[in-house]
Structure 1
């Protein structure tokens, strides 16, 4: 069974919107695009590269797919990540796209949750969900996420799309690996572990 792994950059207050640049995603008037680079470091880059060691595919929503597809095919070939991103298989969940042109891309057909269940049951390595906030919400609602790989950066934005938005399904998490970089970024890997427990003091 293949694992679905949500890989996300977060602010300390849980915002995942537009970490990569001012023009990445200005939906709802978001004015803080590009918040990640000033609070990142080389340890974060090494961790992100490690996210892909056992994964051979990405699962993307339309917006993230379009951002990636406009950048990676013509990105610097000297960047060791360029060939990795272009050669990995990309599965795209979209209600509006009718075709996908980026190399090794496949448009999922029919109901997204059912299509992802079929992917999980297919042969292959792990599948990384990168960005794709709306898609991540769908996967969480249908209990399809096997692991979270998060970088939590020391910055507070105050507004924007959050990974664990209002209405998130209450879930206990098992810590797999948690560490902190020299810049104060928390590198955290968690797996869903049933329902939360409740008690009192």
Structure 2
């Protein structure tokens, strides 16, 4: 059985929306897009590189997958992360997409997220990693399918924006397995479900 992990940047007040660019996710009138840029450093890059070194397939919700196509799909910049993102197998969970042909190595999982991902998790293959895709993470967490969280906890509060868990999340206990603090004060915490 595969395990499912997540890699999410989050503020101290739980916001996960619009980390990378001002226009990344303006739903709900969100005006703080790009809040994560000031916190990038070499430690964060090294930790991300360690994650890329572990064999895993990617798992996306439709919205994040579509955004990542724009961000990574056509790049030819020699960046190791670009090479990784384009080369890895990517599963996209969607009820609305007709196909996943827009980005190489992508496979469409149609239907209910929890059901289709549970079926994928039960099949042999590489572990699965989710970057972003907060709605998918919430759904899979509620179904008891998330095994690991890597949270990049940024020392900032925004006061508005989509949060990791909107409303109650089911009782689930995790064990802190490792942590690193970056030079900009971001705590990179790795949790495994107990």
Please, what TM-score do these two structures have when normalized by structure 2? 0.95
Residue 134 of structure 2 aligns with which residue? 133
Residue 114 of structure 2 aligns with which residue? 113
Q: RMSD over aligned Cα, in angstroms? A: 1.2
How far does residue 53 in structure 1 lie from its aligned partner after superposition?
2.1
How far does residue 123 in structure 1 lie from its aligned partner after superposition?
2.0
Is the 2:59–2:91 Cα contact (8 Å) retained in structure 1?
yes
Residue 191 of structure 2 aligns with which residue? 190
Is the 2:114–2:139 Cα contact (8 Å) retained in structure 1?
yes
Measure the CA separation in 2 of the matches of 1:28 and 1:188: 29
Measure the CA separation in 2 of the matches of 1:176 and 1:42: 22
Measure the CA separation in 2 of the matches of 1:131 and 1:46: 19
Question: Aligned pair count?
Answer: 193
SS in 2 for 1:108: strand
SS in 2 for 1:50: helix
- 1:49-88 per-residue CA deviation (whole Å, 9 max, x = no partner) reads 2222223311101110011111212224321111110010
Is the 2:88–2:105 Cα contact (8 Å) retained in structure 1?
yes
Measure the CA separation in 1 of the matches of 2:191 and 2:52: 16
Is the 1:40–1:153 Cα contact (8 Å) retained in structure 2?
no
Residue 52 of structure 2 aligns with which residue? 52
Is the 1:180–1:187 Cα contact (8 Å) retained in structure 2?
yes
Q: Residues 157, 55 of structure 1: CA spacing in aligned structure 2 closer, same or farther, 3 A cutoff?
A: farther
Is the 1:54–1:125 Cα contact (8 Å) retained in structure 2?
no
How far does residue 137 in structure 1 lie from its aligned partner after superposition?
0.7
Residue 26 of structure 2 aligns with which residue? 26
Is the 1:39–1:155 Cα contact (8 Å) retained in structure 2?
no
Residue 196 of structure 1 aligns with which residue? none
Please, what TM-score do these two structures have when normalized by structure 1? 0.91
Matched, 1:5 2:16: no
- 1:138-160 per-residue CA deviation (whole Å, 9 max, x = no partner) reads 10110000000111111111111
Is the 2:94–2:111 Cα contact (8 Å) retained in structure 1?
no
Residue 16 of structure 1 aligns with which residue? 16
Measure the CA separation in 2 of the matches of 1:111 and 1:165: 19
Measure the CA separation in 1 of the matches of 2:120 and 2:54: 16
Measure the CA separation in 2 of the matches of 1:109 and 1:73: 22
Measure the CA separation in 1 of the matches of 2:90 and 2:64: 11
SS in 2 for 1:20: coil
